[in-house]
């Protein structure tokens, strides 16, 4: 007698398009390869990269069919050969290379860290991309510290509000750009100065910046160069045309870097420590049932979301 292979559900798509292309389907449950873990997803983040991959505006996973979802929090159900440090039953959060909008996902064990028990799956699912991007930009690349004057564009978004709190935790002086409606939210998170960039030209309102994190792209990068003090550093998370080659930026006495979020159990473990005792408290604007993934995409694309958006998987 053969045993039927266990099943799972995925939110997949067979063509590029709007949120309506997302469709819930049954699949065989994946099996972890050597070095991988199988995670029963409890909650998964929905970010701009999901929308870009879904619509085809950025070729993240190539041609459909594929399953979106990079940020997940859940429970290890099975470990593949050669996995050390994680075992079945561990509650983990991490960054996977797609496939997270599902009841189960497999990924290398090194993409996950143990979730603090004080953090629920919904908040943990909002953390990986936002916190890893902020950590790599502000700690690893820029090495911000006490008193560093930091400018964060799109400060109220998923990455932005994580970056504001991480910079404050390092003792930096934080200037954020965001629409006026978001200023009270950002002040509560510790931002020292806020500019409503929908009403004011930030290049005239902001000066003497040592580290700028650009989470908007387009003209924001080149315009931000004018706010930097000599030797100031611009870190771009949204690739765009600076209008200057990196060496020209340096010739003008400024520095430039690109950040790309990467999975790292080591960084996630350090991030977990900051989240465990609320030194950084990520805000989830909306947590929707898994079956309402399309609504979550619509919400994200309508703008005005503070912090992150999360899908909650059924039991
Ligand atoms: N390089 C990487 O590894 C990496 C990692 C994560 C994210 N990213 C990129 O970084 C950006 C932010 O990501 P996120 O997750 O924080 O997104 P998010 O949560 O959707 O937030 C986006 C923020 O950008 C603001 N915004 C949108 N268009 C703007 C404009 N034209 N001018 C000024 N502000 C604008 C939004 O403000 P309103 O809501 O008020 O419009 C919102 O606060 C996205 O482009 C994303 O693709 C890159």
pLDDT digits (tens, 9 = 90+) for 25-47: 999 999 999 999 999 999 999 99
> What pLDDT band is residue 248 in, cutting at 50, 70 and 90?
confident
In percent, the amount of the chain with pLDDT more than 70 equals 99
Region label for 40, one of left (φ > 0), alpha (ψ between -120 and 50) or beta (otherwise)? beta
Backbone phi and psi for residue 104, each to the nearest 5 degrees, phi listed first: -135, 145
Residue 239 Cβ contacting ligand 1 at under 6 Å? no
The encoded tokens of residue 308 equal: 């992150």
Question: What's the rounded Cα separation, in Å, for the pair 310 and 254?
Answer: 37
Query: 276: CA distance to ligand 1 center in Å?
Result: 25
The domain over range 130-258 is classified in CATH as 3.40.50.10860:
no
> What pLDDT band is residue 249 in, cutting at 50, 70 and 90?
confident
The encoded tokens of residue 47 equal: 């970010």
Residue 159 Cβ contacting ligand 1 at under 6 Å? yes
Question: What's the rounded Cα separation, in Å, for the pair 138 and 212?
Answer: 9
Q: What is the pLDDT of residue 2?
A: 63
Mean pLDDT on 243-266: 88
Q: What is the pLDDT of residues 164-211, one digit of tens each?
A: 999 999 999 999 999 999 999 999 999 999 999 999 999 999 999 999
Backbone phi and psi for residue 261, each to the nearest 5 degrees, phi listed first: -60, 135
Name the residue of 159, 178, 264, 302 whose CB sits within 8 Å of the most ligand 1 atoms, as the mutation to test its pocket.
159
With 0-12 CB in 10 A as exposed, 13-18 as middle and 19+ as buried, what is 20?
exposed
1 has a pLDDT exceeding 60: no
Question: Residue 258: how many CB atoms within 10 A of its CB?
Answer: 15
pTM of the model: 0.97
Question: What are the residue boundaries of the structural domains of the chain, listed by start?
Answer: 7-126+283-312, 130-258
Residue 127 Cβ contacting ligand 1 at under 6 Å? no
Mean pLDDT on 83-91: 97
Query: Average per-residue pLDDT in the chain?
Result: 96
Nearest CA to ligand 1 atom 4: 237
Mean pLDDT on 74-79: 98
**Cβ proximity of 44 and 72 under 8 Å:** yes
Rounded to 5°, the CA angle 305-310-312 comes to 150
The domain over range 7-126+283-312 is classified in CATH as 2.30.30.100:
no
Mean pLDDT on 21-27: 98
Mean pLDDT on 260-280: 97
20 has a pLDDT exceeding 60: yes
């Amino acid at each position: 007698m053969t045993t039927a292979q266990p099943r799972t559900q995925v939110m997949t798509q067979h063509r590029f398009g709007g949120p309506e292309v997302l469709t819930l389907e049954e699949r065989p449950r994946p099996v972890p390869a050597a070095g991988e873990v199988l995670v029963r997803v409890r909650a998964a983040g929905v970010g701009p990269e999901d929308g870009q991959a879904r619509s085809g505006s950025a070729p993240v996973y190539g041609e459909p069919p594929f399953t979106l979802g990079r940020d997940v929090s859940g429970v290890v159900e099975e470990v593949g050969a050669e996995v050390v440090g994680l075992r079945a039953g561990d509650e983990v959060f991490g960054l996977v290379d797609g496939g997270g909008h599902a009841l189960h996902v497999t990924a290398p064990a090194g993409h996950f860290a143990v979730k603090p028990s004080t953090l629920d799956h919904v908040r943990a699912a909002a953390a990986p991309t936002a916190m890893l991007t902020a950590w790599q930009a502000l700690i690893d690349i820029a090495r911000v510290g006490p008193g560093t004057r930091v400018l964060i564009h799109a400060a109220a978004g998923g990455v932005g509000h994580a970056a504001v709190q991480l910079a404050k935790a390092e003792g930096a002086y934080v200037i954020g750009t965001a629409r006026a409606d978001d200023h009270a939210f950002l002040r509560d998170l510790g931002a020292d100065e806020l500019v409503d960039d929908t009403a004011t030209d930030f290049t005239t309102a902001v000066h003497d910046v040592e580290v700028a994190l650009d989470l908007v792209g387009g003209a924001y990068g080149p315009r931000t160069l004018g706010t930097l003090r000599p030797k100031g550093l611009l870190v771009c998370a949204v690739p765009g045309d600076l209008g200057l080659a990196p060496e020209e930026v340096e010739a003008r006495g400024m520095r430039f870097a690109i950040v790309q979020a990467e999975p790292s159990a080591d960084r996630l473990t350090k991030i977990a420590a900051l989240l465990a005792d609320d030194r950084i408290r990520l805000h989830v604007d909306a947590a929707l049932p898994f079956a309402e993934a399309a609504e979550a995409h619509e919400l994200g694309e309508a703008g005005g979301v503070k912090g992150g958006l999360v899908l909650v998987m059924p039991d």
